Amino acid sequence: EKLLQVKRLKKHFRLDKGKLLKAVDDISFDIYRGETFGLVGESGCGKSTTGRTIIGLYECTDGEVDYAGRNLHALSAKEQHAFHRKIQMIFQDPYASLNPRSTVKEIIAEPMESHQLYKDKKEQLEKVYQLLEDVGLNRDHANRYPHEFSGGQRQRIGIARALALDPEFIIADEPISALDVSVQAQIVNLLRKLQKEKGITFLFIAHDLSMVKHISNRIGVMYLGSIVELTESKELYKKPLHPYTQALLSAIPIPDPDVEDRRERIILKGEIPSPIDPPSGCVFRTRCPHAMDVCAEKKPSWKEVESSHFVACHLYDETIIKDHDEVAVTK
Ligand code: SF4
Ligand code: MG
């Protein structure tokens, strides 16, 4: 069952002098109920903007987001309020997103208060205690302040707050990027446990492919406002098709120190171009080790190359590859 359908979504920001920043430029994907969908790409590729546009923090420029079959951006104010209970967000920096002057108890209870979930304060407090336990903390933590906790514990508080309204769907925007590597795995395990217990669907945003593997059922790889490849996690790690995915994967260290890393690291030349003035044709062509003439002229179309494995790259377009070979031969 498709819980979320993102259809040709665009988010463009208008800048000074009529310039346009195409942060998200025509992306489509579905998220099934109960799964974790990983969205991966370097900073500035538009993945956070995608999350924020889905949840309505940004108005979308074009396209549509359907949630359980309803167009989210066409709901009445009352429907939107009800819908906001179902979708929550977890942020990258657990410290910046927690009010330093509020106790843990107040932070977690805040969404319940704004939705007037409990008339009985005692009942509300019991729910806070329950949530603290759910995320691996305990009731003794309730009256303390965020600064008294480690980064990992603060992220647990942020997760407890996101769970306060019993959401169906959580957008986790780089929830582990700011944490020590040893703590990252704990938070990933916590999210997996919560998913199992509560059946929550996740959009998990990450800037590299090292941890998403352990949590995602499917992964979309984003580059400069576009999704360039999308498939099941296992398939993506086993058989990355897009040159950008191949480079991202080659950059992940092999976790076992006893295994010699014989893979060749693909170093991408140059920087990510500005989304204000993106390259013509394929957005990745200025850094792609396989770029051909056609890549500057034509935007690669979105193709299902193998079952449930989608990619946007001319290397997988048979007619173009044939022409390209012929050109190469006649030269
Ligand atoms: Fe590289 Fe061309 Fe494929 Fe883009 S379309 S990723 S430039 S080969
Ligand atoms: Mg971001």
Sequence-distant (≥ 6) Cβ neighbours of residue 109 within 8 angstroms: 124, 125, 127, 128, 164
State the distance from the centre of ligand 1 to the C-alpha of 281, rounded, in angstroms: 9
Please tell me the distance from the alpha carbon of residue 144 to that of residue 110, in angstroms, as a whole number: 15
Q: Which of 287, 292, 294 gets mutated to test ligand 1 (max ligand atoms within 8 A of its CB)? A: 292
Judge whether 22 and 78 are in contact, CB under 8 Å: no
218 C-beta closer than 6 A to ligand 1: no
Sequence-distant (≥ 6) Cβ neighbours of residue 311 within 8 angstroms: 228, 229, 230, 241, 242, 302, 303, 305
- pTM score, two decimals? 0.91
Mean pLDDT of 176-198: 92
Residue 318 has pLDDT above 50, yes or no: yes
pLDDT tens figures, 56-66: 889 999 999 99
Give the helix/strand (H/E) hosting 311: strand 309-311
State the distance from the centre of ligand 1 to the C-alpha of 162, rounded, in angstroms: 39
Residue 33 has phi, psi (to 5 degrees) of -60, 130
State the distance from the centre of ligand 2 to the C-alpha of 272, rounded, in angstroms: 15
- For residue 92, the model assigns a pLDDT of 86
What's at 161, amino acid-wise? R
314 C-beta closer than 6 A to ligand 1: yes
- Least Cα distance to 11 among 42, 56, 43, 41 occurs for 56
Percent of the chain with pLDDT over 90: 74
- For residue 255, the model assigns a pLDDT of 62
Q: Which residue has a Cα nearest atom 7 of ligand 1?
A: 285
The mean of the pLDDT values for the chain is 91
- For residue 79, the model assigns a pLDDT of 87
Residue 325 has phi, psi (to 5 degrees) of -60, -40
State the distance from the centre of ligand 2 to the C-alpha of 258, rounded, in angstroms: 34
Residue 326 has pLDDT above 60, yes or no: no
- For residue 29, the model assigns a pLDDT of 97
ipTM of this predicted complex? 0.98
Mean pLDDT of 283-300: 96
Q: Which residue has a Cα nearest atom 3 of ligand 1?
A: 313
Residue 208 has pLDDT above 80, yes or no: yes
Percent of the chain with pLDDT over 70: 94
Catalogue all structural domains in the chain, each as residue range(s) with its CATH number.
2-216 (3.40.50.300), 241-331 (no CATH)
pLDDT tens figures, 234-281: 999 999 999 999 999 988 876 666 666 667 788 888 888 999 989 999
Please tell me the distance from the alpha carbon of residue 278 to that of residue 323, in angstroms, as a whole number: 26
Tokens of 200: 């929550």
Least confident of 82-86, 145-149, 203-207: 82-86
Please tell me the distance from the alpha carbon of residue 137 to that of residue 157, in angstroms, as a whole number: 8
Of 297 and 253, the structure prediction assigns the larger pLDDT to 297
Residue 76 has pLDDT above 50, yes or no: yes
Residue 217 has pLDDT above 70, yes or no: yes
Of 181 and 329, the structure prediction assigns the larger pLDDT to 181
Residue 320 pLDDT level (bands cut at 50, 70, 90): low
pLDDT tens figures, 126-182: 999 999 999 999 999 999 999 999 999 999 999 999 999 999 999 999 999 889 888
Residue 331 has pLDDT above 50, yes or no: no
